[in-house]
Amino acid sequence: MLAPDVRLCFAGDSFVAGVGDESAHGWVGRVASRALGLGANLTAYNLGVRRETTAEVAARLPIEAPPRLRDGDVAGVVFSTGVNDTTMDDDATRTSSAHSLTALRATLDYCARHGWPVLVVGPPPIDDELQNHRIEQLSAAMERVCAIASRPFVSAFRPLVADAVWRSAVRAGDGAHPDAAGYERLAELIWPAFHPWLTGFGALPADGGIAGSPLRPA
């Protein structure tokens, strides 16, 4: 029996796009590669755009997702934003927390109407402690929105803010984006949530297991 034709859209910002990763895989390529190694018949569409806020990503999802997901047997959305929302622009953040959360709720509702399972990955820390405080607050608020909507949420902030590999990788880069080692760390963090999410809606065989192929693509 053939595995179902799985189509996933990874919608988000520069971290979804994998900016800074010299291997060009980012965390999206790493988790997709591992899922393929466990038997998923997966097409992963990377819809990461640099500098975009939650509201901007949410606004283009209804345009970009339908043509990519309509012909598969199984479809889903991974949504990951937030760092750009908290960036200061003159004397204010680029978008308010309320606006970010409204956009997140709209995305969850949109995916529900289309029958697409959605996994939300929160914003990671960067090399700016003042902005990290804002990122932490937004991440916690996003997690609460997902809990109310009964949608899975991965907190990237809490585990990475004190992670020496991540912080060193970000500091050595542009102050926001890590190198391949940092994305490897982020992929390791996301995988334990990504795997059961895929299995839960039939995108991955239930006997695939958490162990298996490495997160680092060949």
d(CA 45, CA 28): 9
pLDDT in tens, 18-71: 999 999 999 999 999 999 999 999 999 999 999 999 999 999 999 999 999 999
pLDDT at residue 210, as a whole number? 46
Direct distance between the N- and C-terminal alpha carbons of the chain, in angstroms, rounded to an integer:
27
Question: Which pairing describes strands 88-89 and 118-121: parallel, antiparallel, or unpaired?
Answer: unpaired
The CA–CA distances, whole Å, from 3 to 38, 39, 151, 202, 205 equal 11, 8, 25, 9, 8
pLDDT, position 1: 58
Q: Which CATH number is 5-200's, of 1.10.600.10, 3.40.50.1110, 3.30.460.10, 3.40.1190.20? A: 3.40.50.1110
Query: What is the band of 3 on the pLDDT scale with cuts at 50, 70, 90?
Result: confident
pTM, 2 dp: 0.94
β-bridge mates for residue 118, sequence order: 77
Distances (CA, A) of 166 to 14, 51, 184: 16, 20, 9
Band of residue 208 on the pLDDT scale cut at 50, 70, 90: low
Q: Can you tell me the distance from the alpha carbon of 42 to that of 2, in angstroms, rounded to the nearest whole number?
A: 12
- Residue 96 pLDDT: 97
Tally of helices (H runs) and strands (E runs) in the chain: 8, 7
**pLDDT average, residue stretch 103-117:** 98
pLDDT in tens, 116-154: 999 999 999 999 999 999 999 999 999 999 999 999 999
Q: Which two tokens stand for residue 66?
A: 């339908």
Handedness of CA 213, 168, 80, 23 (dihedral sign): negative
The domain limits of the chain are: 5-200
